């Protein structure tokens, strides 16, 4: 799908703002800090490490499917992408729109794409069972990796992000985790995918994947992951590359995330422009 042909650009929103104000956005020396309607939020420029916005960034909260970033990172570090994975029947315990079947075989690469693009829980569980040997052992691997990354306020209880006692993270920890994952080129490619088809190894089953991330309609946005549970609320990690800057935003329990997050990313850009003068 041609990303550049899609609407909703942050650049368009900025242009409208300039037109309404009758001036140059660069002339605004101190952009007004926007309100943050989220339980927690963290916005950082990755190259410099400059934190542009934060709210309760170290508060422990349920991360919903943002958890799948850790699952993907461990899988990428543990097994070759061309590995054939047979779907274990024990992995099919949670509903998923993709409806994988026990015994079907897919490449690990395609299951990772399914869980990152469409947030497929059965694909996620299949990856966990394949890499860890069982679900519990995979969670042990997740928490061990969290310790090596210095994620002091993160603990996992499952691979996919279901609400559970002892399953929590923070906006700041998730930003650090995502920055690490984005260093894997295949992960960076997967999380900016809008539409992709995958197929079982024998070719008898084809599955069409559609991203859950509406911000990818903006050509400047290149990821990363959405999440939702009744306890966690609407969650989102957004990555944007523009004018040489790499912005990463983590929001937990975000109100109107498709409207609010672009505004916060624009604010981050305005702060960077003001600071570069």
**Which of 100, 68, 131 is closest to 201 using CA atoms?**
100
pLDDT value for 271: 93
Q: Please give the C-alpha separations between residue 80 and each of 83, 108, 127, 137, in angstroms, as whole numbers.
A: 5, 8, 12, 19
Q: Which residues pair with 53 in a beta bridge?
A: 43
- CA 178 to chain centroid: 7
Identify the helix (H) or strand (E) that includes residue 55: strand 50-55
34: which 2 tokens? 């926007």
CA distance 12 to 79: 42
Which run of H or E residues covers position 14? helix 10-21
CA distance 249 to 213: 14
* Residue 148 phi, psi (nearest 5): -65, -25
Split the chain (277 residues) into runs of 10 and give each run's mean pLDDT.
42 40 49 92 96 98 98 97 94 83 96 97 96 97 98 98 98 98 98 97 96 96 97 98 95 97 95 78
Distance CA 181, CA 179 (A): 6
Domain at 3-276, CATH from 1.10.10.2840, 3.40.710.10, 3.90.870.10, 3.40.50.300? 3.40.710.10
CA dist 112 and 165 (Å) reads 26
Task: Give the CA count within 13 Å in the CB-facing half-sphere of 230.
Answer: 1
pLDDT at 99: 87
- pLDDT at position 97 is 75
Contact call for residues 131 and 74 (beta carbons, < 8 A): yes
d(CA 99, CA 114): 11
Report the distance separating Cα 249 and Cα 74, nearest Å: 22
**Residues noted as catalytic:** 65, 68, 119
For tokens 């299949």, what's the residue?
A: 126
At 19 the pLDDT is 37
The pLDDT of residue 277: 53
Residue with tokens 């943002």: 66
- Chain-centre distance for alpha carbon 55: 19
Domains of the chain, residue spans: 3-276
- Write out the two tokens for 131: 């890499």
- What are the distances in angstroms from CA 37 to CA 23, 130, 251, 259, 263? 28, 39, 9, 11, 12
Amino acid 27: pLDDT: 44
């Amino acid at each position: 799908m041609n990303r550049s042909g899609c609407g909703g650009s942050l650049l368009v929103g900025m242009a409208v703002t300039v037109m309404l104000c009758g001036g140059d956005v660069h002339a605004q020396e101190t952009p007004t800090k926007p309100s943050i309607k989220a339980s927690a939020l963290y916005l950082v420029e990755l190259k410099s490490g400059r934190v542009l916005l934060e709210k309760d960034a170290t508060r422990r909260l349920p991360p919903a499917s943002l958890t799948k970033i850790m699952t993907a990172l461990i899988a990428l570090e543990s097994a070759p992408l061309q590995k054939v994975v047979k779907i274990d029947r024990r992995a099919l315990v949670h509903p998923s729109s993709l409806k994988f079947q026990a015994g079907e075989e897919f490449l690990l690469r395609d299951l990772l794409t399914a869980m990152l693009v469409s947030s497929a829980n059965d694909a996620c569980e299949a990856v966990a069972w394949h890499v860890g040997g069982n679900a519990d052992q995979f969670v042990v691997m997740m928490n061990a990796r969290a310790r090596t990354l210095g994620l002091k306020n993160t603990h996992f209880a499952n691979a996919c992000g279901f609400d559970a006692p002892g399953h929590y993270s923070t906006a700041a920890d998730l930003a650090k985790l995502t920055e690490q994952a984005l260093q894997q080129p295949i992960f960076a490619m997967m999380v900016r995918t809008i539409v992709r088809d995958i197929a079982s190894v024998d070719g008898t089953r084809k599955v069409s994947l559609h991203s859950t991330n509406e911000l990818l309609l903006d050509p400047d946005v290149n990821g990363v992951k959405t999440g939702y549970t009744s306890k966690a609320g609407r969650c989102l990690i957004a990555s944007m590359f523009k004018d040489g800057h790499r912005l990463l935003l983590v929001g937990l329990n975000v109100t109107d995330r498709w409207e609010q997050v672009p505004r916060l990313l624009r604010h981050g850009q305005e702060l960077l422009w003001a600071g570069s003068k």
